[in-house]
Every structure is written in C-alpha cells, then in structure tokens.
Amino acid sequence: MIASAPGKIILFGEHAVVYGRHALVSAIDLRCRVEVKKRSEFRIFSPLGLTGLDLKIHPYITFAINRFCEFKKIEGAEIVVKSEIPIASGLGSSAAVTVATLKALSEEFEVYLSEEEIFEIAKKVELDVQGRASGIDPFISTFGGSWIFPERKKVELPFQFFLIKLWERSTKAMVEKVANLRQKYPEIVEKIFDSIDSIALKAPNCGAEEFGELIHMNQSLLRALGVSSPEIEEIVSKLEKDGFRVKLTGAGGGGCIFGIFSGRKPENSFLVRPEMEGVKIESA
C-alpha cells in the first residue's frame, strides 16, 4: 500500500501558533510517499538509512507505528519512504512522513482510520518526538489546502512562492529556544506573539505588495524571538537589496526562507505552489 502526504509552508505565525495565536499555512506541491507491506518484523528504509524500530534514526515513523498499535497490534511491516520534501528544512517533512505512514498502515492492515483520526494520532506522534507543538504540521499534511489555523478557516492564496534552502536544524531546539525567551520575558514575548497573530489574520485579504510588507514585519519579529541569526539576516538583507521580501518559514535557525514569486526569483531558489490534496492513497 502506498500513501502520500504533502509538505507545507507557514506563511505567517510560526512559534506564536504554539501559544494559541493564528497562523496562515498552506500545503505545497512536494510530497512524501510511504509504502507499507505486511511482514513478520519491522524494517524501515528511508534516505536516513535502513533500520528496525529506531527512535534515534526514525523517531516519527517508530512513534507512528507504536501509536498505530494502540488501534491494532501488528507484528511487523516493511516501510519504504521516498520524499520530495527536504529534511529538517521547515517544510513539514516529519509531519508528512508521519501522516503518510499512518495512512498506509491503516489501509494495509484494514483499520481504515478517518482523516480526523490520522490527524489526531499524528499530533500525538509530534508531541512524542518534540515535546511541544501546535499540531499545524500534521493538520496541513492531512488535509491539504491553505488555512488560517487553528480556526480551520479555509483561504485561497493566489500566489506561487520561491524558496531558498539554507541549512538543516532541529525544530525541537528552536521551539525550546522560544520557550526559554518567553519564560524570561513573558510580558514582552506575549506581545510579539500578538503582533504575529495580527499579521496572520490580516494576510489572507492582502495583495502581493502588502503581503510583502507583512513578510518583512514577520521576519523582524522572528528575529526578535531569536530564531534568525546574523548569517540568516545577511542573506535576508542581500535579497532585500535585490528587491525581494523574504522571511524564514517553519522553526527558523536555518531551514528555508521564502518570498512571493512575481515573475522573478533569486538565484538558487525553487518554486512551489499551494497544494489542495492532503493525505491520499497512491496505489494499493
């Protein structure tokens, strides 16, 4: 059984969304495909390596299998992962592999979980691995489309986006960094979250020019939260000098930066567009 799920781009609201604020998020046209076959033991094969159940190398898949076993106890499976989504880059590769694994397990072992159940289990898996999370990544990988989260207000985004991949980093570490800053300066950090919330709510009604201004403001607030860095700001400044508006997307500290594509894109960037389809079966 082969299932696939899309990656995502957070346009506005990362980190603040962990503390109950809104985010604007879209699925993107890069997918992760997971094939599951019944076997007598567990074998997981991905670009990260070949393992059995392994919380170090394949934490999301291993926790997904453990959580799936709460619905139906299984003795083994072969899991093969092929993904177009760059790893540890803020584009939701972990959630996509989790959601696609759950869907493929669910069909292969005739449990037939609903999308809502897959989302709920994937959210638990994310918490198992990261300790703290908003659920935005498993939500968008499951349902696809573009949304104001957590309200589940569907929006249409008439844009294509360019992405520049920086370096890999750990979401967990960046989320912890913001948690520490909030603990130290709660009255200041909560106000930064409120401003990010206003940006996320404003964005769906904006044209390209205002959208660019919001990108600039949100990037400055991410910098204030400590998830940018001098190296990232240098790249952002250079792109701004070239006339682009860009911001980090996802947890920051590296990962990816994005901007709206209006006929011109920076060197070393690639284009993505909003994707309507969430998790699905590719073939039996």
Positions that interact with ligand MEV (CB under 6 A): 10, 14-15, 17-18, 90, 133-134, 136-137, 171, 175, 250-251
- The nearest distance, CB 17 to ligand MEV, in angstroms, is 5
Q: Report the C-alpha dihedral over residues 105, 107, 109, 115, rounded to 10 degrees.
A: 70
Chain-centroid distance, C-alpha 6? 9
Residues 6+ apart with CB under 8 A from 263: none
| CB 270 to ligand MEV: min, Å | 19
Query: Residue 261 corresponds to which amino acid?
Result: F
Active-site residue set: 137
**Minimal distance in Å, beta carbon 257 to ligand MEV?**
14
In this structure, the strands spanning 146-149 and 23-38 are antiparallel
Q: Which two tokens stand for residue 270?
A: 């690639």
Nearer to ligand MEV, 67 or 169 (CB): 169
Give the contacts of 261 (CB within 8 A, at least 6 positions apart): 159, 160, 161, 162, 271
What's the CA gap between 190 and 243, in Å, rounded?
Answer: 31
The CA distances from residue 198 to 23, 25, 117, 189, 204, in Å, are 9, 15, 31, 14, 11
Of the two residues 17 and 36, which places its CB atom closer to ligand MEV in the complex? 17
CB of residue 140 vs ligand MEV: minimum separation in angstroms?
Answer: 9
Under DSSP, the state recorded for 117 is H
Residue with smaller CB distance to ligand MEV, 4 or 134: 134
Question: Which one, 61 or 174, has the nearer CB to ligand MEV?
Answer: 174
Report the nearest approach of ligand MEV to the CB of residue 119 (Å): 14
User: Is the CB of 22 or the CB of 36 nearer to ligand MEV?
Assistant: 22
Helical residues (DSSP H) of the chain, grouped into ranges: 59-68, 93-108, 115-130, 136-143, 171-184, 186-202, 208-224, 230-241
